[in-house]
Chain A
Amino acid sequence: MVSVSNTDKSLEKINIIKLLIFLSIFIVITLVLILALILPSIKHYRVYKNEYNTALFRKVKVQNILNDRVKELKKLQLDNRKVFDSFKHKFTEPEFVLFANKFFNKVTLKEVKKSLHKKEFKVYELNVTSTLKTPVNFYKFLDGLNHYQNMVQADFPIDLKSNGKVISATFKIKVFGLVTLEK
């Protein structure tokens, strides 16, 4: 009886030619894939990774600059709050008369003109007529202007007239306000 064996002997008796053919096919396919796909991709990958890293570095740098600006801005606002608040505060005549009455008697205001200063600040000019007992009150008033809730500048002409008992004072004030608020 002839034994019939289905066993594949290809692993036991390796065909060198076949092996070389498969090895060649393997090397060719691998080389083609590496040269055609992997190497260009790695090259592009490096280029785009570098581009991304550069972009990220620039962004971080700009972000740091922005953070510094925000800090500077906050410090500026905090250090000069009085000045900025004075520009923003809406000027009203009754409030100013109330303030001026601390130094003068019979204060009256008369609007002279409205104009712009350097296109950014609106200037409201008023004539102040008042009476006072001593010039010291006028000095105190000028001191007080620097602490007033609005940005007010006492201006020329200043006319002080004495009738022996009281001094009548007529002078101009300029109230500065903001035209627009930029953020």
Chain B
Amino acid sequence: MVKYSFIEPRKKHLFSTFSKIWILFISFISLLLIAFGIFLLIKIALYKKDTVATNNERVALENQIDKKDNYMEYLLRQKSLGEEIYSRNTLLKDSMKNLFDLVPDQITLERVIIKKDSLIMYGKTPTKDTFNFLLSAPLKSIFSTSNTMFYLTKEGWYNFVSTNKITTTDGFSE
């Protein structure tokens, strides 16, 4: 082979070291920026997913609150009705106690019918006055209307039927 040059042929590089350094640097920075961008996109996707999940959890919690509220209202209605029942029993007891306390020893009760708005009493009294002074007066102060009928017995006593009515909406409670 014939040589036309005094020097050996040198390998010619496409890029000089300077260029290579620059290309590497630019590539590295670009990759770094792209990686950071991808990281941000992943974080965004995660935040989106977490936001949807958190909102769903909140809605579920709100539904639970609604259920608890409804249940609490239901329990409060039970409590209210329970207290009303207890108070009616107590009131009825007190009313009956007061009624029997009203009756003086001279008068004997044979039958008492208590309805929501009326009281009917059957009994015996030695005299009409005893009944009128000792029992009729307090009854008249409690009831709106109070009527009594007397029947003379063989023994000289009086059988009576006292019908008393209340016109208020509360009914019998005294």
Contacts and interface: CB of A to CB of B under 8 A. Distances in A.
Contact of A37 (B34, B51, B67, B72): B34
Interface in A1-44: 2, 4, 6, 8, 10-11, 14-15, 18-19, 22, 25-26, 29-30, 33-34, 37-38, 41-42, 44
B22 A44 contact: no
A59 B76 contact: no
A53 to B, nearest CB: 9
A45 B86 contact: no
A72 B72 contact: yes
A138 B113 CA distance: 14
A161 interface: yes
B43 A45 contact: yes
B68 interface: yes
A133 to B, nearest CB: 14
Contacts of B93: 138-139, 142-143
A18 B41 contact: no
B109 interface: yes
A42 B41 CA distance: 9
Contact of B92 (A121, A154, A161): A154
Given A142-B93, A176-B81, A160 B111 contact: yes
Interface stretch (B54-62, B125-133, B141-149, B154-162): B54-62
A156 B115 contact: yes
Given A48-B44, A135-B96, A38 B68 contact: no
B54 A59 contact: yes
A80 interface: yes
Contacts of A63: 61
Q: Which range contains the number of A residues in contact with the other chain?
A: 35 or more
A38 B147 CA distance: 99
A135 B89 CA distance: 15
A167 to B, nearest CB: 9
Given A76-B76, A153-B89, A156-B172, A11 B26 contact: no
B83 A145 contact: no
A49 interface: yes
Interface stretch (A81-89, A92-100, A106-114, A124-132): A81-89
Nearest to A13: B18
Given A29-B30, A84-B75, A87-B78, A158 B55 contact: no
A6 B11 contact: yes
B71 interface: yes
B164 to A, nearest CB: 14
Interface in A46-65: 48-49, 51-52, 55-56, 58-59, 62-63, 65
Contact of B47 (A51, A118, A146, A161): A51
B26 A38 contact: no
Contacts of B81: 117, 121, 151, 176
Given A59-B54, A83-B83, A151-B85, 9 more contacts: A4-B8, A4-B10, A8-B18, A26-B26, A29-B30, A38-B37, A69-B69, A151-B82, A156-B114
Interface of A: 2, 4, 6, 8, 10-11, 14-15, 18-19, 22, 25-26, 29-30, 33-34, 37-38, 41-42, 44-45, 48-49, 51-52, 55-56, 58-59, 62-63, 65-66, 69-70, 72-73, 76-77, 80, 83-84, 86-87, 117-118, 120-121, 135, 138-139, 142-143, 145-146, 151-154, 156-162, 176, 178, 182-183
